[in-house]
Amino acid sequence: MVQVTNIGVLVSGRGSNLQSIIDSINRKEINAKITVVISDVEDAYALERARKHDIPAVFVNPKGKDREKLDEEIAETLREHNADLIVLAGYMRILGKDFVRKHYGRVMNIHPALLPSFPGLHAQKQAFEYGVKVSGCTVHFVDAEVDHGPVIIQKAVPVLEDDTEETLAKRILEEEHKSYPEAIRLYTEGRLKIVGRKVAVRK
């Protein structure tokens, strides 16, 4: 029997990417189980999504803690729930270098732009204001730099003449909802291998 991958998801907001992952698991497209959802925001709607699906939802209060202390608390919560893969789904804090080093190759993030273009916050706005003709999203492994780790999947989204920042962001999000479950599925199937800056996808 193929082993089920336990996933811990870190969130800060509404959790639409979390929902896409939950739905893919429920459709049996991914051989995985979300064992915990952790948020640094107490009233994040993503925590409510988790509770609706009987997934443990944990608020880790960042108040009065430095990055190292907060990371330690998150790491301990992930260990308690036996998380094999750590998925950042709209988690708005930067993980410390020590956390990333200890978990390298087991932490994924999704970014609403075609990295290395437009890293950081408000990527859709950056792309729209720059005037690019193509934008998109990137799923990547996390390393010690922001929005920098080896790329797993990228999906292109054309920028239309009548687009606004909002309509572009909406179409990028639709691709995110497809790309993240796909990347997680490849991981659970043991098909991803990091080779330097590249991710090789085994057949």
- Catalytic residue numbers read 111
Amino acid making up residue 118: F
CA distance 48 to 55: 10
Provide CB contacts within 8 A for 103, sequence distance 6+.
75, 86
Amino acid making up residue 36: V
**Residue position matching structure tokens 């479950």:** 181
Please give the structure tokens belonging to residue 73.
Answer: 């608390």
Sign of the alpha-carbon torsion through 139, 140, 142, 147: negative
- DSSP label of 148: -
Please give the structure tokens belonging to residue 181.
Answer: 């479950």
Angle between helices 123-130 and 165-188 (to 10 degrees): 130
Contact 25, 180 (CB under 8 A): no
